[in-house]
């Protein structure tokens, strides 16, 4: 399967378990891997391939939409919506909180989900 990679879509949003996260907000980073089939691709036309601009719009819709408590929920919502893009056969979504309010965690926290049709 061929892949389209979109790395680190940065969103400032209001998700989290703690009230402070929901009211003050924080940075989230979302990366995508879209499984597509380009074996028959011959045209240099945007409408001949899955449009990854639509994928970015879906991420923004979820991240700037209704507040969620869990990274897992965000990743699953994004993955399910990405599978509606024409030509996308499989998705891997990473939702990352680079600065979680957890003492001692300096490298961030991520959830990665993979879904297919």
Confidence (pLDDT) at 43: 81
Catalytic residue among 97, 98, 112, 113: 97
Domain count, the chain: 1
Annotated catalytic residue 81: no
Confidence (pLDDT) at 35: 97
pTM for the complete prediction? 0.94
How far lies 75's CA from each of 7, 36, 104, 109, in Å?
A: 14, 19, 24, 13
Structural domain harbouring 20 = 2-116
Q: Give the CATH number of the domain where residue 74 resides.
A: 3.30.1130.10
Cα–Cα distance measured from residue 10 to residue 12, given in angstroms and rounded to the nearest whole number: 7
Residue 47 confidence class, pLDDT cut points 50, 70, 90: confident
The per-residue pLDDT for range 51-105, each reduced to its tens digit, is 899 999 999 999 999 999 999 999 999 999 999 999 999 999 999 999 998 999 9
Does 41 score more than 90 pLDDT? Answer: no
């Amino acid at each position: 399967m061929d892949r389209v990679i979109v790395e680190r879509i940065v969103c400032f949003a209001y998700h989290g378990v703690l009230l402070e996260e929901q009211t003050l907000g924080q940075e989230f980073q979302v990366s995508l891997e879209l499984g597509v089939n380009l074996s028959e691709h011959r045209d240099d036309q945007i409408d001949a391939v899955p449009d990854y601009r639509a994928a970015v719009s879906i991420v923004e819709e979820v991240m700037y939409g209704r507040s969620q408590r869990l990274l897992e929920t965000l990743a699953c919502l994004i993955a399910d919506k990405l599978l509606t893009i024409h030509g996308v056969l499989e998705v891997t979504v990473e939702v990352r909180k680079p600065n979680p309010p957890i003492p001692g965690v300096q490298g961030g926290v991520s959830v990665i989900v993979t879904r297919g049709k």
